A and B are shown apart, each in its own frame.
Chain A
């Protein structure tokens, strides 16, 4: 009888261990399945703007995958780039000791033997200008699947991107790059402190939160 119980426990151990163990953590906090981690660009050690899931080597820093203590198992990880307007010179994904350059690929896979903790390194480096990247990372182990969404954002106010032309029948408040409202919502009312004279000069303006070029 004891042998049967022991055998049953042995067979079920991976199931329970798996159920308890596989999870994503960010900055030491457990993430719910399907949670989103948003990371803003910061100047990295190389002096460039980067978004990194693990910006330092502190053990609990950044995005980690906690795995159950299973021997002989393999983790399958799939990274899907959902959208990417981030102007980064490189995007690198490392998991399980292997790195891959994302390049123009939108779907990448890795299979590896898990340790108790696996670093999820997704780095977008040397970012120039505004943009965002959205990625979905799914890991599978013994029929368990966990997903985390990673969003990289660079809201660089000095970057000038996605310029649109000003429509002729425009009817919204317009601001210049100094933050002065030069046109209100109904016409051509100029604020005294703004330097523009008699209508809009050619140049860049902020309209409804977007940069607009007046030609």
Chain B
């Protein structure tokens, strides 16, 4: 019996070894975030080939889903139509400024996670490349419409290293019926425009943003949309970018009342 007790004591003594104090906590890195791709489509109602670009976007959304690829139609530039007394236009001053800033020379042309101008025929390959990368943060957006005002909450969680850049929030509208010049110079008065950039919510270039690995941040914004825009078709796109491009992007519709 004594032998059994002795063996048990010996076993317990040898089973435990001394661990240095600094090694007792093991850091567990956050789960890596899947990179969502932002495709900025610089388009215009006077641009005959722009509907071809839209077709490429629709194929990409079918292939990867709208949670993996987020397209934004930025109307502006020389072939944008701002509207006149007779017809509604979708081009905005912001769209013109973005077009000019990026030094674009033709339309349709896109920015895929802001890594330079990409011709619409090359969008699929550029999107595929970006989807294979991981992202240094996760982003989520919730938004509700209340008494004509949009309340927006952006949630961010750092997953890989420290990130500094800008947080940009945009308001988009889908299902806008407006004229479009089509290939062959055909006018289509009942063309349905989707994911149209209506307005930047926090300025043309967004706000300063920084987040560390494992850190959680939230930001609340409010915005008064134009009464002519259909609230049922509005959505919010939020993304973080810096000089190395767009690091992460998310999109949320307005009617999903996820918080009060």
Asked if A99 and B185 make an inter-chain contact with CB atoms under 8 angstroms apart, the answer reads no
B40: shortest Cβ distance to chain A, in Å? 17
Asked if B84 and A57 make an inter-chain contact with CB atoms under 8 angstroms apart, the answer reads no
The answer, yes or no, to whether B48 is at the interface (CB within 8 Å) is yes
Residue among B78, B86, B106, B187 with the highest chain A CB neighbour number at 10 A: B78
Asked if B46 and A121 make an inter-chain contact with CB atoms under 8 angstroms apart, the answer reads no
- Give Cα A45 to B178, complex, Å: 13
B181: shortest Cβ distance to chain A, in Å? 8
Asked if A103 and B185 make an inter-chain contact with CB atoms under 8 angstroms apart, the answer reads no
The answer, yes or no, to whether A98 is at the interface (CB within 8 Å) is yes
- Give Cα A89 to B91, complex, Å: 13
The answer, yes or no, to whether B27 is at the interface (CB within 8 Å) is no
Given the interface contacts A90-B78, A100-B105, A101-B105, does A45 sit within 8 Å of B84 by beta carbon?
A: no
Residues of B within 8 A of A46 (CB): 45-46, 81, 84, 86-87, 179
- Give Cα A125 to B84, complex, Å: 14
Q: Which of A47-55, A138-146, A186-194 contacts B (4 or more CB under 8 A)?
A: A47-55
Asked if B84 and A47 make an inter-chain contact with CB atoms under 8 angstroms apart, the answer reads yes
Residues of B within 8 A of A89 (CB): 78
Asked if A101 and B187 make an inter-chain contact with CB atoms under 8 angstroms apart, the answer reads no
Chain A interface extent, by class = 20 to 34
Residues of B within 8 A of A100 (CB): 105-106
Asked if B79 and A94 make an inter-chain contact with CB atoms under 8 angstroms apart, the answer reads no
Chain B interface extent, by class = 20 to 34
Asked if A45 and B187 make an inter-chain contact with CB atoms under 8 angstroms apart, the answer reads yes
- Contact pick for B86, options A47, A56, A92, A125, CB 8 Å: A47
- Contact pick for B107, options A52, A97, A99, CB 8 Å: A99
Residues of A within 8 A of B185 (CB): 52, 54-57, 62, 119, 121
Say whether chain A's binding surface is mostly helix, strand, loop, or mixed.
strand
- Give Cα A89 to B89, complex, Å: 15
Asked if A90 and B46 make an inter-chain contact with CB atoms under 8 angstroms apart, the answer reads yes
The answer, yes or no, to whether B49 is at the interface (CB within 8 Å) is yes
- Give Cα A140 to B56, complex, Å: 31
The answer, yes or no, to whether B22 is at the interface (CB within 8 Å) is no
Residues of A within 8 A of B45 (CB): 46
Asked if B79 and A101 make an inter-chain contact with CB atoms under 8 angstroms apart, the answer reads yes
The answer, yes or no, to whether B85 is at the interface (CB within 8 Å) is yes
Q: In chain A, residues 119-149, which have Cβ atoms closer than 8 Å to a Cβ of chain B?
A: 119, 121, 123, 125
- Give Cα A54 to B48, complex, Å: 12
For B189, the closest partner residue in chain A by CB is A45
Asked if B106 and A99 make an inter-chain contact with CB atoms under 8 angstroms apart, the answer reads yes
Give A residues with C-beta under 8 Å from B.
Answer: 45-48, 52, 54-57, 62, 89-92, 94, 97-101, 103, 119, 121, 123, 125
Q: A46-B81, A55-B185, A91-B78 are in contact. List 5 more A-B contacts (CB 8 A).
A: A48-B84, A57-B185, A92-B46, A97-B183, A101-B107
Q: Which 4 A-B pairs have the closest CB atoms?
A: A90-B78, A47-B86, A57-B186, A45-B187
Q: Can you list 7 A-B pairs with a CB-CB distance of less than 8 A?
A: A46-B84, A46-B179, A55-B185, A92-B78, A99-B106, A101-B77, A101-B105
Give B residues with C-beta under 8 Å from A.
Answer: 45-49, 77-79, 81, 84-87, 105-107, 179, 183-187
